Structure 1
Amino acid sequence: MRQGFNSWGRVVRRHRDIASLAGLTGSGAGALLPFGNGRSYGDSCHNDAGRLMPMRPGAAIRAFDPETGLLTADAGVLLSEILALVMPHGYFLEVTPGTAQVTLGGAIANDVHGKNHHRRGTFGRSVVSFVLCTSDGSNIACTPAQNAGLFQATIGGMGLTGVIEAATIRLMRVPSANVRQTAFRFASIDGYFDAIDAIDAGHEYSVSWIDQLARGSSLGRGVLMAGDHAEDGGPARPPAPPRLSVPFSPPVNLLNRVTLKAFNALYFGRAPETSKSSIVPWGSYFHPLDAVRDWNRLYGPRGLFQHQSVYPAETARETTIRLIECAQRHGAASFLTVLKRFGDVPSPGLMSFPRPGFTLTLDFANSGPATLAMLDALDEIVLLAGGAINPYKDQRMSAAMFEASFPNWRTLEAQRDPALMSDFWRRTAMRLVRPEHERMPARAAAAG
Structure 2
Amino acid sequence: MLSLIGFLTILAIVLLLISGRISPIVGLVLVPIIGAIIAGFSVGELGTFFEEGIGSVMEVVIMFVFAILFFGVMQDAGLFDPMIKKMVAVSGGNVISVAVGTVIVAAIAHLDGSGASTFLITLPALLPLYKRLNMSPYLLLLLVGTSASIMNMAPWGGPIGRTASVLNMDPTDLWRPLIPLQIVGMVLLMGMAVILAIREKKRIARFQLVASSSEVAAATEAPPVIDGGQNNTNSKNSSLLRPNLIWLNLGLTLGVIGVLVWGVIPAGFVFMIGLSIALPLNYPQVNDQMNRIKAHAPSALLMAAIIMAAGSFLGILNGTGMLEAMSEDLVKIIPSFVLPYLHLIIGLLGVPFSLLLSTDAFYFALFPIIEQITTDFGITSITTAHTMIIGNIIGTFISPFAPALWLALGLTGLEMGRHIRYSLFWMWGFSVVLLMAAFLMGIVPFS
Measured against the shorter chain, the TM-score band is: under 0.3
With normalisation by structure 2, the TM-score equals 0.24
Flag the structure with higher strand content: 1
| TM-score normalized with structure 1 length | 0.24
Q: Which has the higher contact order (CA 8 A, sep 6+)?
A: 2
